[in-house]
Amino acid sequence: MTTQPETRPAGQLSSKQAGRSAESTPSLNRIADDALLHPRDAARMLNVSTSWLAKARLTGNGPRFVKIGRAVRYANSSLREYIKSRTRGSTSEV
């Protein structure tokens, strides 16, 4: 007796697949403003390296961050605020 694989309409994920994909790839549009992001995710959002973020923490030039024990996290709202503060209308603006 052989078991047949479960069939689903095209594009539909099993409950196990759907849960895994939602956990492994957080959409930045769905993250709450107060969510704390890992430096790797913050670097992706800003399109910079994690090394740049570390240097910016030391010099105070980067986005505001949160320290919880030894862990560094970035609030989504702080990243959006940093992006807004860096927005310029022309190259002559300082």
Per-residue pLDDT of the chain in tens (94 residues, 90 and over written 9) = 555 655 555 555 555 555 544 454 555 555 565 899 999 999 999 999 999 999 999 999 999 999 999 999 999 999 999 999 999 999 998 8
Give the domain extent around 45. Answer: 32-85
Q: Determine, yes or no, domain membership for 78.
A: yes
CA distances from 44 to 37, 51, 68, 76, 82 (A): 10, 12, 21, 12, 14
Nearest to 34 by CA among 78, 83, 89: 78
How many domains does the structure of the chain reveal?
1
Q: Say how far apart CA 9 and CA 64 lie, in whole Å.
A: 46
pTM over 0.85: no
Q: Of all helices (H) and strands (E), which one includes residue 59? A: helix 50-59
Q: Determine, yes or no, domain membership for 61.
A: yes
Residue 74: what pLDDT? 97
Q: Determine, yes or no, domain membership for 44.
A: yes
Backbone angles phi, psi at 59, to 5 degrees: -90, -15
Amino acid identity for residue 40 in this structure: R
Q: Determine, yes or no, domain membership for 48.
A: yes
Q: Determine, yes or no, domain membership for 21.
A: no
Q: Determine, yes or no, domain membership for 59.
A: yes
Residue 40: what pLDDT? 98
Q: Determine, yes or no, domain membership for 58.
A: yes
Residue 34: what pLDDT? 81
State the helix-helix crossing angle for 76-85 and 39-46, rounded to 10 degrees.
30
Q: Determine, yes or no, domain membership for 60.
A: yes
